[in-house]
Amino acid sequence: MAEQKKNRIKTTWIVLSALAGMLLVSVFWFHLATTIKPPDPGSYADTSLQAINPEAGFFYLKNNWIQKNKEGLWEMYIEGKPFERGVINGKLTKSLIALQEKAFIDRIREMVPSDGYLRFLKYFIYWFNRDLDTYVPEEYKLEIYGISVSASAKYDFIGSGYQRMLNYHSAHDIGHALQELSLVGCTSFGIWGDKSKDSELIVGRNFDFYAGDAFSENKIICFEKPENGFGFMMVTWAGMIGTVSGMNEAGLTVTINAAKSDMPWSARAPVSIVAREILQYASTLQEAYVIAKKRETFVSESILVGSAKENKAGIIEKSPYKIALVIPTSNFIASTNHFQSEAFVNDPLNVRNKAENASCYRYQRLIQDISTLAPMDYRDVASILRDKKGLDGADPGYGNEKAINQLIAHHSIIFKPLQLQVWVSTPPWQLGKYICYDLNDIFHKFAGLKQREDISDTAQTIPADSFLQSTDYQQFLRFKEMREELKKRLHNREKIPLSSSFLTEFINSNPGYFEVYSLIGDYYFQKGQWKEAKTAFHKALTRIIPGWEEKLAIIEKMAECNLNIKKTQQ
Element (H, E) at 248: strand 245-248
Range of lowest pLDDT (21-30, 480-489, 497-506): 21-30
| 106 pLDDT higher than 80 | yes
pLDDT digits (tens, 9 = 90+) for 356-365: 999 999 999 9
Range of lowest pLDDT (119-128, 272-281, 560-569): 119-128
**Residues 254-279, mean pLDDT to the nearest whole number:** 88
- Note the pLDDT of residue 547: 94
Range of lowest pLDDT (40-49, 168-177, 250-259, 382-391): 168-177
What percentage of residues in the chain have a pLDDT greater than 90? 75
- Note the pLDDT of residue 30: 35
- Note the pLDDT of residue 181: 42
| 157 pLDDT higher than 90 | no
| 123 pLDDT higher than 50 | yes
| 26 pLDDT higher than 50 | no
Separation between Cα atoms, residue 522 and residue 553, nearest integer Å = 11
- Note the pLDDT of residue 159: 83
pTM of the model: 0.91
**Residues 476-492, mean pLDDT to the nearest whole number:** 96
- Note the pLDDT of residue 8: 63
Rounded mean pLDDT of the chain? 90
**Residues 19-44, mean pLDDT to the nearest whole number:** 56
Which of helix, strand or coil describes residue 113? coil
| 113 pLDDT higher than 70 | no
- Note the pLDDT of residue 389: 98
102 or 25, higher pLDDT: 102
**Cis-peptide into 320, omega within 30 deg:** no
**Residues 218-223, mean pLDDT to the nearest whole number:** 97
Separation between Cα atoms, residue 258 and residue 187, nearest integer Å = 10
- Note the pLDDT of residue 22: 43
- Note the pLDDT of residue 32: 36
Q: Compute the CA torsion angle 118, 124, 126, 132 (nearest 10 deg).
A: -130
**CA-closest candidate to residue 243, choices 97, 379, 95, 411:** 411
